[in-house]
Chain A
Amino acid sequence: MLWNGIFYVTSAIMLISALSALFARHAMYGGLYLITSMVAMAVLYYLLGGPFISALQVSLYVGAVLVLLLFMITMLYRPAPRTYVPRLNRRFWWPMLLLLVLLAEVATLFATGAQTTVPKIVSIGPKAVAEALFGHYLLIVEATALLLLAALTAVLYLSRKVEES
């Protein structure tokens, strides 16, 4: 089936590029792998019937948030590029053990569960999202606006201190 094929290929691209960010040499390469992963995620959102959040993922997430991250990487520092070689000491094995336990939990969870299928993908457009957003969830929108204002104030204050010192 076409849907399944596109879904699995996009998921593979997303997971492989996220895994490449783990082994990236420089922070800029990591950021570019992250952007690839997020664009693949936008395709997945579209496949899951959300064209509005798919567009927002590209324009808002990749276009604003991750570009901010890339700006900060270019501004910040230029250390010697070095390959990430995990040192096999205690600080590597304990997190690795925790990750493997988590992975085993995920595997058992999905190996034993029953298969459920959604018969038909329904595209939920911007109109339905906006009606719920500005109707039922209006209070949370206001709270988020307040949070963004607080973040703006904090960033302005901290960057002013940078200029003074």
Chain B
Amino acid sequence: MAYEPTLMTGALLFVIGLAIVLLRREVLFVLMGIEVMFNSAGLTAAAAGQYWQDSVGQILVLFLMTITGAELAVALVLVYLAFRRLRVTQLAEIHSLRDAPTLPQELRP
């Protein structure tokens, strides 16, 4: 097994994920780009684990999957809230942290 092509594949996948994050405007596509970048890091970790013939790389990939699940769940709820309250799906339109007209009654000033 040549070691460099695996790292090269991981680096190319990272660049593609970064392109999705930087060039697309929809929030969901930005999340997908982040997923792609996480996976490129996982591929690099698995290749390095095979390079050292050790289980550390696989353990890193496992933690990466778990953290990605937690991150995606919270991020998706935030996207859903942004759509329900502000009716926006584009990233540039989410520019206000405070949405006073749709706050629940007990939180209104």
Binding site for B on A (CB under 8 A): 3-4, 7-8, 11, 14-15, 18-19, 21-22, 24, 27, 30-31, 34, 37-38, 41, 44-45, 48-50, 52-53, 56-57, 60-61, 64-66, 68-69, 72-73, 75-77, 79, 84, 86, 92, 95-96, 98-99, 102-103, 106, 109-110, 113, 115-118, 121-122, 124, 128-129, 131-133, 137, 140, 144, 147-148, 150-152, 154-155, 158-159, 161-162, 164-165
Question: When the two chains form the complex, which single residue of A34, A50, A103, A151 contacts B35, counting CB atoms closer than 8 Å?
Answer: A34
Bound together, the chains give a CA A132 to CA B61 distance in angstroms of 13
- CB A159 to nearest CB in B, in angstroms, measures 6
Q: Are B22 and A48 in contact (CB under 8 A)?
A: no
Please tell me the size bucket of the interface on B: 35 or more
Given contacts A14-B13, A106-B15, A144-B67, contact A68 B5 (CB under 8 A): no
Question: When the two chains form the complex, which single residue of A22, A84, A122, A155 contacts B77, counting CB atoms closer than 8 Å?
Answer: A155
Give me the 8 closest cross-chain CB pairs, A-B, nearest first: A95-B22, A151-B70, A118-B1, A106-B11, A128-B55, A158-B77, A11-B9, A27-B28
Q: Are B2 and A76 in contact (CB under 8 A)?
A: no
- CB A19 to nearest CB in B, in angstroms, measures 6
Question: When the two chains form the complex, which single residue of A24, A48, A110, A117 contacts B8, counting CB atoms closer than 8 Å?
Answer: A110
Bound together, the chains give a CA A49 to CA B63 distance in angstroms of 18
Q: Are B74 and A154 in contact (CB under 8 A)?
A: yes
In the complex, number of A-B residue pairs with CB atoms less than 8 Å apart: 209
Binding site for A on B (CB under 8 A): 1-9, 11-13, 15-20, 22-24, 26, 28-29, 31-32, 35-36, 39, 42-43, 46-47, 49-51, 53-59, 61-63, 65-74, 76-81, 83-85, 89, 102-104
Q: Are B49 and A165 in contact (CB under 8 A)?
A: no
